[in-house]
């Protein structure tokens, strides 16, 4: 497989649910406009000569990536094959309601369209409608395909070394390891409040939100490829725009990062640009995601938000929490980068890395969502990119040579071990999935208690949020009758499908 084919498949994967959005969530006039813009944006995939057609991934590489994606898909809990986190009450109900009801989904049936990001579930749900039954095979294959494409990009960025792929996907969990050790020895390091100020790695997040980790892997991997090979950063805009329908917070954070870097590039070039390229790669994708962003503004009730000092929790406790979960990570990231960034081949530009650290430092002071979803989910692509930045130089060095060098540098060795320690969390999650799954529960029912979360326990997302989370979290996704979306964009009635 060459890079042009991988890019075509990756963008096509993100594109399909966006096509369905315009077909079912918008009126005919807007649908024609949106589909035309998506088509024009996507033609750049075929026209661009900036991406090599030389074979990059061998048959062996494809098998390795396939094995990794199969393990990750099993581990994440989709289809209830292995241990499922609490969020699968939501995932399963969203998949079920999209299969059962006509699109767009309205709550109540004659009310406004519910404002939720359904991108990940649409293709498997449509296949389920076609076959006349909820298809677990469809969502398993769809999920595995997404992980396959995402891991392929990270695999390429890290010199085709699977171990470094796992380590990069584990970046962000080091404080979690530290807290676990101290909890066993001395108790909790701080008092947990109503929401968290912490970061979770891609590996930890895939157990909770595979729908958001998949596009984050794709965006992070493609972003690094553009930087590494000095390709126009404008090429990342279309994938970012397509991600909003999948995962709002990762799309926002990657959009912000990309916008700052692209605008900086334009300013340094004194606006002497290839304007046709700018139109095709920036203006058209922004137009394509505009209706989706307007759709997300049609909430009846806004989510909880505000600076962390505006909430009643102890600020002293919050400072300690920030220092452990954010400050410690930032310190290790900074030091590892300073020691190793000039090592190896194809050195990545430093400005994006420092910008990422600034964002990771600043974002935690503002809360969005009851449990601070903006921080937990928005940092997924950032931590992955930071992980690639930190492990890329190490992956350029043969393992034995690297180990010999680190043994002679005790400070650097300790820092690398701290960075790598985050992978212990992911290893523990994999062990849990191997111990708690449908096969072990069937073989040893007296020792393993596991029942997959049902799909049809609740009729829709509103009811499951109200029952399992809170009335406030259920209300925030209800549509607004007099919103711009309902008045100007929505279809008159659900489209039969």
DSSP for 469-488, written as a single string: T-HHHHHTTSB-TTSHIIII
d(CA 337, CA 473): 39
Report residue 13's pLDDT band, with 50, 70 and 90 as the boundaries.
very high
Mean pLDDT (the chain, rounded) = 91
Query: 97-129: per-residue pLDDT in tens?
Result: 999 999 999 988 888 999 888 999 999 999 999
Q: What is the pLDDT of residue 254?
A: 97
Contact 233, 259 (CB under 8 A): no
d(CA 364, CA 242): 25
Residue 345 has pLDDT above 70, yes or no: no
- Give whole-number Cα distances, 152 to 48, 165, 391, in Å: 21, 9, 16
Q: What is the pLDDT of residue 85?
A: 95
Residue 495 has pLDDT above 70, yes or no: no
Residue 156 has pLDDT above 80, yes or no: yes
Q: What are phi and psi of 231, to 5 degrees?
A: -90, 160
User: Which of 137-146, 281-290, 368-377, 486-495 is predicted least confidently?
Assistant: 486-495
Contact 83, 433 (CB under 8 A): yes
Q: Which residues contact 434 (CB under 8 A, 6 or more apart)?
A: 82, 440
Report residue 496's pLDDT band, with 50, 70 and 90 as the boundaries.
low
Query: 179-222: per-residue pLDDT in tens?
Result: 888 877 777 777 777 788 999 999 999 999 999 999 999 999 99
Query: 450-464: per-residue pLDDT in tens?
Result: 999 999 999 999 899
Beta bridge partners of residue 495, listed in sequence order: 103
Beta bridge partners of residue 366, listed in sequence order: 307
How does DSSP assign 25-50, residue by residue? SS-HHHHHHHHHHHHHHHHHHHH--S
d(CA 115, CA 480): 9
Q: What is the pLDDT of residue 49?
A: 67
């Amino acid at each position: 497989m060459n890079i042009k084919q991988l890019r075509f498949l990756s963008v096509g994967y993100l594109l399909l649910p966006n096509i369905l959005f315009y077909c079912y969530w918008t009126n005919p006039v807007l649908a024609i406009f949106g589909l035309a813009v998506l088509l024009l944006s996507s033609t750049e995939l075929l026209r661009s000569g900036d991406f090599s057609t030389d074979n990059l991934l061998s048959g062996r590489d494809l098998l390795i990536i396939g094995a990794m994606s199969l393990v990750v898909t099993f581990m994440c809990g989709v289809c209830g094959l292995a241990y499922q986190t609490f969020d699968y009450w939501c995932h399963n109900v969203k998949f079920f309601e999209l299969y059962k009801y006509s699109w767009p989904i309205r709550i109540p049936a004659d009310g406004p369209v519910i404002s939720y990001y359904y991108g990940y579930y649409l293709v498997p749900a449509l296949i389920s409608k076609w076959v006349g039954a909820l298809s677990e095979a469809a969502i398993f294959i769809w999920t595995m395909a997404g992980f396959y494409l995402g891991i392929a990009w990270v695999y390429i960025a890290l010199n085709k070394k699977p171990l470094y792929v796992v380590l990069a996907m584990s970046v962000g969990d080091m404080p979690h390891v530290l807290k676990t050790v101290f909890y066993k020895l001395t108790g909790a390091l701080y008092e947990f409040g109503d929401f968290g100020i912490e970061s979770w790695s891609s590996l930890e997040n895939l157990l909770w939100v595979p729908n958001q980790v998949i596009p984050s892997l794709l965006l992070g991997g493609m972003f690094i490829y553009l930087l590494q090979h000095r390709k126009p950063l404008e090429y990342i805009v279309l994938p970012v725009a397509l991600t909003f329908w999948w995962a709002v917070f990762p799309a926002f954070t990657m959009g912000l990062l990309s916008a700052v870097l692209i605008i900086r590039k334009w300013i340094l070039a004194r606006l002497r640009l290839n304007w046709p390229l700018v139109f095709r790669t920036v203006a058209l994708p922004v137009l394509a995601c505009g209706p989706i962003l307007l759709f997300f503004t049609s909430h009846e009730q806004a989510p909880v938000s505000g600076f962390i000092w505006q909430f009643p929790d102890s600020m002293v406790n919050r400072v300690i929490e920030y220092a452990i979960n954010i400050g410690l990570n930032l310190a290790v990231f900074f030091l590892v980068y300073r020691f190793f960034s000039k090592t190896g081949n194809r050195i990545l530009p430093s400005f994006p890395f420092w910008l990422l650290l600034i964002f990771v430092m600043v974002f935690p002071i503002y809360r969005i969502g009851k449990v601070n979803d903006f921080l937990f989910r928005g940092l997924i692509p950032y931590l992955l990119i930071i992980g690639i930045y930190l492990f890329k130089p190490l992956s350029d060095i043969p393992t034995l040579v690297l180990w010999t060098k680190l043994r002679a540098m005790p400070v650097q060795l300790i820092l690398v071990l701290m960075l790598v320690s985050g992978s212990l969390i992911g290893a523990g999650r994999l062990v849990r999935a191997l111990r708690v799954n449908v096969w072990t529960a069937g073989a040893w029912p007296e020792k393993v208690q596991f029942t997959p979360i049902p799909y049809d326990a609740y009729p829709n997302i509103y009811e499951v949020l109200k029952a399992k989370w809170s009335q406030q979290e259920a209300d925030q996704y209800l549509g607004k009758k007099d919103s711009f979306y309902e008045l100007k964009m929505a279809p008159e009635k659900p489209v039969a499908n």
